[in-house]
Structure 1
Amino acid sequence: MSTIEHSISKAIWYGKIPIQFNLDPTDPTATVFIEVPRYSYLPLTTPQLLSHSKRLESSEPHSIWYEFNGEPLKWHYPIGLLYDMANRMGPTPPQLPWCINVHSNNFPDNVILRNPGLETIQDMYMSMIKEADFIRHGSTKKVMNLSKQDQSQLWQALSTERYDDYWHVNQHILDDRGVGLRSVPLRLYLPDQCPVIQDTTSFTDEQGASRTLGDILHSIVPGLFLADGKSTTDLIVVLHGIQLPLHTPIRWASDHLSYPDNFLHLIICKPSPL
């Protein structure tokens, strides 16, 4: 396992997005402003919103859904990823605070999964961590060997914003001693409603040399990125709201810039208009 620069990972962990939640379309004053961690999930904000709105308070939490510019937001995507997809892939510059509409009826079942309970979200989160472990090491032993208390601590740390508690457990998952690295846990999000790309690609080349982000992108989407790590167009790569240089070492990025599910969620888009 490489040495973690905690100044970097802490800055990512404590990154937040100011959100204006519009609770009632008939009442423009029914709004709540919350600074939400980028790594969190929208359903984790639901209890706080219910306490601010009598209309929502009488609703079933499973019926609550979120929408931006007419598009339902996927609750199982981290909030930072949702914001970057909505604001970096669109035709307008990023807006802050991010204005999200909250609905309690006409749930779009044909577009998004119904809002689950917190236990289901926790199960989803742990499934992602297990999947990342399998991609990275070729098995899920790192996660499965954690005690129930440690597995629970990963989720509790995420939902209560405790960085030290999270890394106390996650460092054991990322520890590659005696196991070795297989593939990079990553997902690519492209413009124009393209399907999410999740492919297997190694941390090193055939000679064992470390690969860069540009190397990885060329191996997965060679039509968009050349072998020299340059884009064939003016496309850029965005993660946590930051444009990543294509020469970024992929191992460093995976260890420091992954979301708490241990995936690199990379957005391929054009530079935002000024």
Structure 2
Amino acid sequence: MGSIPQALWKAQIPLHITHPSHPNTPLITSLPRFSYLALLVPRCSAFFRTPISAFHHEDLLLRNLPLGLLVDLYQPSLPWRLTVSDGDSWDIGDTFLNCVKEADFVRYGNAKRIMSLSKSDTSTLWNAVQDNDYPSFQKVNAQLLNAPAALRHVPLRLYIPSSPPKSSSPSPPASSPQPPAPAAAATQEPSTGAFRVLQTLVPPTVPGTRNTPQTIGQALRANLPALFPSSRDPVLANVVLHGSPVPFAAPLEDLMREAAYPDGWLCLTVVLL
């Protein structure tokens, strides 16, 4: 039986992609949960014979996030029907590595581990995501997670919808280049108004204790008490990770090591009950 990370890397999202000029000629494909839609730009441009760089879910321009996280956010029926168009382009590789550096900073208070990697190892991280190559990724990522320094905080982002997804079908199994402010939570409000992102410094152990692991439920209650009045059970809202509800008793550090996205971030989507 494979490990949780191996299963997550193997997971695929089926896609049905159309262009306004070719509404009856869809590109039918699938993409790994840990991949990015931007990696389909060359293929889509060749298929539709026109430059494209933007992906839309219904009328919503999708942000530059891992595909699995987008699925958790919008809960589409599958295959996910997307449309493409021309728009602003970006370097997804640079965006990914900036997220990796930020996650490293959050974990240890500095980015020494990622900055000390060889150029080859740094390239391997992004190449592994492009190639969906978990063994190659894990060899380098283990150096980042198993540092001699003590883990200070868990890189955690909570995605809170400002309105419920239009599709109610269940889903199948972010990025700033600068380190976060060390004092308080950072809240980002996207221009679309579809969701906001809560990012704060969350220690792996319960504050005031030495070695008591902090659970997801405790972190949720501490940072979003209005939505999570209980640290043991979902009352008003739940959180979803990789298409599944997360047990409130799950230790944060264990979840980070087993189920974080390749950029190092543990991304939980809040779902109102």
When normalised by structure 2's length, the TM-score is 0.84
Compute the RMSD of aligned alpha carbons.
1.6
The answer to whether the 8 A contact 2:159-2:196 is kept is yes
Does the 8 A contact of 2:22 with 2:48 survive in 1?
A: no
More strand by share: 2
Runs of 4+ more than 3 Å apart: none
- Please say if 1:184 is aligned against 2:154: yes
Mapped to 1, the partners of 2:212 and 2:117 lie a distance apart of 31
Name the structure 2 match of 1:16.
12
Q: Distance in 2 between matches of 1:69 and 1:123?
A: 28
1:160 aligns with 2:131: yes
Residue 71, structure 1, aligned to residue 66, structure 2 = no
Please state if 1:86 is matched with 2:74.
Answer: yes
- Provide the rounded CA distance (Å) in 1 between the counterparts of 2:110 and 2:2: 26
1:199 correspondence with 2:188: no
Distance in 2 of aligned mates of 1:130 and 1:44: 21
5+ residue gaps, structure 2, are 163-193
Answer yes or no: is the 8 Å Cα contact 2:36–2:67 preserved in 1.
yes
State the match for 2:251 in structure 1: 249
Select the residue among 221, 224, 237 that pairs with 2:224: 221
How do residues 103-142 of structure 1 correspond to structure 2 at under 5 angstroms? 103-104=85-86, 107=87, 114-116=88-90, 120-142=91-113
Provide the identity percentage: 33
2:213 to 210, 214, 219: 210
> Do the aligned residues in 2 keep the contact of 1:40 with 1:159 (CA within 8 Å)?
yes
Q: TM-score, normalised by structure 1?
A: 0.83
Contiguous gaps of at least 5 residues in structure 1: 88-93, 108-113
Deviations 1:107-128 (A, max 9, x none): 4xxxxxx222xxx221111111
Residues 53-82 of structure 1 deviation map (CA, whole Å, 9 limit, x = unaligned): 22x2xx2x5xx21111111101x2111111
1:187 is displaced (CA, Å) by: 0.5
* 2:138 maps to amino acid: W
SS in 1 for 2:120: helix
- Paired residues in the alignment total 240
Equivalences for 1:11-50 in 2 at 5 Å?
A: 11-23=7-19, 25-50=20-45
1:197 CA displacement: 0.4
Does the 8 Å CA contact 1:218/1:229 hold for their aligned counterparts? no
Per the TM alignment, residue 269 of structure 1 is displaced from its structure 2 partner at its CA by 0.8
Report the equivalent of 1:91: none
